[in-house]
């Protein structure tokens, strides 16, 4: 798998396992939270990582941000070997990367003023003079829809949606080329969610650095609104990846199909039938042999229980790991064609 031209971030064969259990007479074990994950994020575009709890999506974010070291794999960013950079160079390069977390209440220091919060990355990277920094903060606040009067206030004085705007302003302060958005709207009210999603779309278009987004989420509706491409994760593996619209209109992996059928409000017969067979997900600590999805899969065959499917890549660039893929014509979901 070679990265197509225009790729900003390229992840290949990423692995990360954690130790678990042990003590109290139980043997310690290694659990693979991320297993052989590969994807590309094109410059200025958005890739969504979608999955349920335990899928490894947040671990991938932390690996890409170098908040964790992977056990194996390669990450190239802007043509650099991102994992092999010497410490000083990595710190210099970090200004090209921003991050927005799910819960602005816990990711913003409550004792700092908005100006201190948003200008902190500028100080760390020694960007601008004091007055230039202040000017940039005012500009950033305006870009995220906050008045200059917010400068001297603290996070506690703002609503959840406004706090997330502050977090976005901070993430964009160094004019990054790449921003990790880890469930950025999941903690927000429905009516505020659309505002913040629109803001993220506008900023991608309107910020001079045209940041690419790695959007981590679980809400397929949200993902459909923001991401050109989507990778679906199940128990640490990318089970399907492709253009968002195609993937949702005609999923090839049965897990993607189950996610779509489970959307609340989907009451058509095919969706209800698919939901009925799906039990609880296995845990990454007790992976079944073969395909990790086979115990919940309506199309599972004997080989799925023995052998793990390798990746199939279609000419269109869609890829999936499944011996028995869904029909490619999209007969599953007539409503979304």
Partner 1 sequence: MGDADPPLLSVRGLSVAFPGPAGDVLAVEEVSFDVGRGEVVALVGESGSGKTLTGLALARLVPEPGRIAAGTVRFEGVDVGSLGERDLSRLRGGAIGYVFQEPSTALDPVRTIGSELVAVLRRHRGLGRREARAEALSWLRRVALPGAEERLRDLPHRMSGGMRQRAMLALALAGGPRLLVADEPTTALDVTIQAQVLGLLASLREELDLAVLLVTHDLGVVREVAGRALVMYAGHLVEEGPAEDVLAAPAHPYTRGLLASLPSGEDAAPGRRLPALEGSVPEPDARPPGCSFAPRCPDAFARCRTEAPGWYAVPGASGTRRAACFLREGDAP
Residues of the shown chain interacting with partner 1 in the complex, contacts defined by CB under 8 A: 46, 52-53, 159-162, 189-195, 197-198, 201-202, 218-222, 224-228, 244-245, 258-259, 261-267, 272, 275-276, 278-281, 335-336
Output the six-digit token pair for 297: 């899969």
Nearer to partner 1, 85 or 197 (CB): 197
> Shortest approach of partner 1 to residue 48 CB, angstroms?
9
Nearer to partner 1, 91 or 263 (CB): 263
Contact present, 262 and 276 (Cβ < 8 Å): no
Backbone torsions φ then ψ of 312, nearest 5 degrees: -100, 130
> Shortest approach of partner 1 to residue 15 CB, angstroms?
24
Contact present, 178 and 98 (Cβ < 8 Å): yes
Nearer to partner 1, 46 or 58 (CB): 46
Give the Å distances, CA to CA, from 220 to 49, 167, 223.
Answer: 10, 23, 5
> Shortest approach of partner 1 to residue 261 CB, angstroms?
7
Nearer to partner 1, 281 or 330 (CB): 281
**Is the torsion defined by CA of 260, 264, 266, 270 positive or negative?**
positive
Cβ neighbours for 25, distance < 8 A, ≥ 6 positions apart: none
> Shortest approach of partner 1 to residue 182 CB, angstroms?
17
> Shortest approach of partner 1 to residue 234 CB, angstroms?
10
> Shortest approach of partner 1 to residue 257 CB, angstroms?
11
Three-state SS at 152: helix
Nearer to partner 1, 109 or 159 (CB): 159
Q: How many other CB atoms are found less than 10 A from the CB of residue 118?
A: 30
Nearer to partner 1, 189 or 307 (CB): 189
What are the start-end ranges of the H helices in the chain? 57-64, 87-93, 104-107, 114-124, 130-143, 160-172, 190-206, 220-226, 244-249, 254-261, 269-277, 302-306
């Amino acid at each position: 798998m070679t990265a197509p031209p225009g790729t900003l971030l390229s992840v290949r064969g990423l692995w990360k396992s954690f130790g678990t259990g042990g003590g109290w007479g139980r043997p310690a074990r290694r659990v693979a939270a991320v297993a052989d994950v590969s994807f590309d994020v094109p410059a200025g575009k958005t890739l969504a990582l979608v999955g349920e709890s335990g899928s490894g999506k947040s671990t991938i974010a932390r690996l890409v941000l170098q908040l964790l070291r992977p056990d194996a794999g390669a990450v190239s960013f802007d043509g650099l070997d991102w994992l092999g950079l010497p410490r000083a160079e990595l710190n210099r390069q970090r200004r090209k990367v921003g991050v927005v977390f799910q819960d602005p209440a816990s990711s913003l220091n409550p004792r700092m003023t908005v100006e201190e919060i948003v200008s902190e990355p500028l100080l760390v990277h020694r960007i601008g003079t004091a007055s230039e920094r202040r000017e940039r903060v005012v500009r950033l606040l305006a870009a995220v829809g906050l008045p200059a009067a917010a400068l001297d206030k603290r996070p506690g004085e703002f609503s959840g949606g406004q706090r997330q705007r502050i977090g976005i302003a901070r993430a964009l302060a160094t004019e990054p080329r790449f921003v990790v958005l880890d469930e950025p709207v999941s903690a927000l009210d429905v009516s505020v969610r659309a505002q913040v999603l629109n803001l993220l779309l506008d900023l991608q278009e309107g910020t001079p650095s045209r940041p690419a987004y790695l959007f981590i989420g679980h809400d397929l509706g949200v993902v459909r609104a923001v991401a050109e491409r989507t990778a679906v994760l199940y128990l640490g593996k990318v089970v399907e990846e492709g253009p968002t619209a195609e993937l949702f209109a005609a999923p090839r992996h049965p897990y993607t199909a189950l996610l779509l059928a489970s959307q609340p409000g989907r009451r058509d017969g095919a969706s209800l039938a698919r939901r009925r067979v799906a039990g609880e997900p296995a845990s990454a600590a007790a992976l079944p042999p073969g395909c990790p999805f086979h115990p919940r899969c309506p199309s599972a065959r004997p080989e799925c229980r023995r052998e793990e499917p390798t990746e199939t890549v279609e000419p269109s660039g869609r890829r999936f790991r499944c011996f028995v893929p869904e029909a490619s014509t999209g007969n599953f979901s007539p409503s979304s064609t």
